Amino acid sequence: MRNPQQKKPVLPNFLIVGAARCGTTSLHHYLRQHPDVFMCDPKEPRFLSGLANHPGAGPGDRAVSRVAVRTLESYVRLFENGAGRKAVGEASVETLYFHKQSIPAIRKTLGDPKILMILRDPVDSLFSTFNFMRRLGREHLPLREALRREEERKRKGYDWMWRYREARLYAEQVRAFQNHFSRVCVLFYDDLNKNPMTVLRTVCEFLEIDDQFSVDAGQVLNASGIPKSSWFNTLFIKPKRLHKVARKVGTALLGINRWVALREHLMRMNLEKPDPMPADIRHDLKVFYRDNVLLLQDLVGADLKPWLIEGDAPDANFSTP
């Protein structure tokens, strides 16, 4: 029996549910600077999707799974220091894709939290993920072959991040959250990249916190690219031991926010811009996503014609909420 004087545990009242490679790391970093917001560490507990107990079979999958949270007790402990904050959240990006598993878990554990999601042109997001996996030293195939082997990797039990094409069929994922939660805010990567403070004001209004607070939004974090130096790159790849040491020392000397800014600057200096996606692959992917993008456009009330092949978009048929 619970002691009547025992404090009610602090749990998230908002979630950043995805999508991957769409700016969630930047949004997480900006929000954690706000005095009214508490964001847990790690950024992605991977608890609500249930993936923590199902590590993938692909290169590096088990290492990622080791930092995930497996029990409700451990999940609750992540938010102990959030007492007194108006907005308490986390940002596990697989939550959106695994909506069939995550939505019942969210309803059971958290009730009806506010849902934030940030989306990006699926072709650009796919290519960013592919190059990010290359930066991590996990992807060794060329893009064309990686796409060809996507279903094979899925059958072998690779983690969801390897589902480059499938994971970006956003429409069903978004609709599921809209149907099950009363407060859903959909943002877009291009807006965050071009006008971060405008997007942050929108987020603050949604979370009902001070929207005049100034944050350091000078850079988009967690860049993808090709490392110039593999050794230097290992300093910033989690959960390697060198990464842990660098993070611990950097945070102790600079504080978490200044360390993140310095880390991202050093990472970018060590990255080369990858070659562009081959034109034929880009065209085929645009065709693959076309119907899904048109459906998503209606669901979110936004003009997504730039995500389509130029000249292919039908007349706009969406309503602005």
31-79 residue pLDDT tens: 999 999 999 999 999 999 998 778 899 999 998 888 899 999 999 999 9
Q: At what angle do helices 24-32 and 196-207 cross, to 10 degrees?
A: 70
Q: Domain 14-217+289-307 falls in which CATH fold?
A: Rossmann fold (3.40.50)
- The length of the chain is 321
What is the torsion angle, in degrees rounded to the nearest 10, for the CA atoms of residue 218, residue 215, residue 28 and residue 221?
10
Token pair listed for 262: 């310095």
Q: How far apart are CA 128 and CA 175, in angstroms?
A: 24
| Element holding 144 (H helix, E strand) | helix 143-148
Confidence of residue 114 (pLDDT cuts 50, 70, 90): very high
pTM of the model: 0.84
131-165 residue pLDDT tens: 999 988 899 999 999 999 999 999 999 999 999 99
Helix spans in 40-121 (H): 61-65, 72-77, 94-97, 99-110
Write down the domain spans for the chain: 14-217+289-307
